[in-house]
Amino acid sequence: MLLTHVTDALGTGEECLGEGSADEAILAVEIGEYFIELVEGMLSKCEESIVAHEKLLESYAAA
């Protein structure tokens, strides 16, 4: 769902460029880039959590 918002924002940016509205295009692309960074950060945190849980499970298995 979040990816849909990102692609919509980037698509809006492309449409605005076609219509000559540079300010709206820049804003839409910046919003898209912000969401991409947000998702990348969330994925990074998920990956860190998975690694921590794997280490915890390994310590339980070794005990």
Q: 40 is written with which tokens?
A: 């990348």
pLDDT digits (tens, 9 = 90+) for 34-55: 988 999 999 999 999 999 999 9
pTM of the predicted model over 0.85 = no
Is a pLDDT exceeding 70 seen at residue 15?
no
Domains of the chain by residue range: 2-62
Longest Cα pair distance anywhere in the chain, in angstroms? 66
Is 6's pLDDT higher than 60?
no
| Element counts in the chain: helices (H) and strands (E) | 2, 0
pLDDT digits (tens, 9 = 90+) for 20-33: 577 777 787 888 88
